[in-house]
Amino acid sequence: MRVTVRLQPEARWVAEYYATSSVTERPDGRVEVELPTRGLGWVAALLLRLGPDAEVLEPAELGERRREMARRTLARYEGPGAEPAP
């Protein structure tokens, strides 16, 4: 399975740290990276960590997995007695 993400310049370290199938430099400083993977779990966690500095291009299901992981993480912090998120 391959995952394609577009990274802002602040997150281009991902292309240097992780194994990639391809890296495409864009004129605006962003890079598109293709990551080979056997599962989406670790990639979703990485994307959650990168926040707005990474955009999922393929597969579409990874974007939903990232959103669900973010909801679950936020729910842990909101626990009993916490202020709800806006």
Reported as a single tens digit per residue, the pLDDT across 13-71 is 999 999 999 999 999 999 999 999 898 888 888 888 898 899 989 888 877 777 787 78
7 and 14 Cβ atoms separated by less than 8 Å: yes
Q: Write the CB contacts of 27 (distance below 8 Å, at least 6 apart in sequence).
A: none
Task: Measure the CA–CA gap between 76 and 5, rounded to whole angstroms.
Answer: 27
Task: Measure the CA–CA gap between 78 and 6, rounded to whole angstroms.
Answer: 30
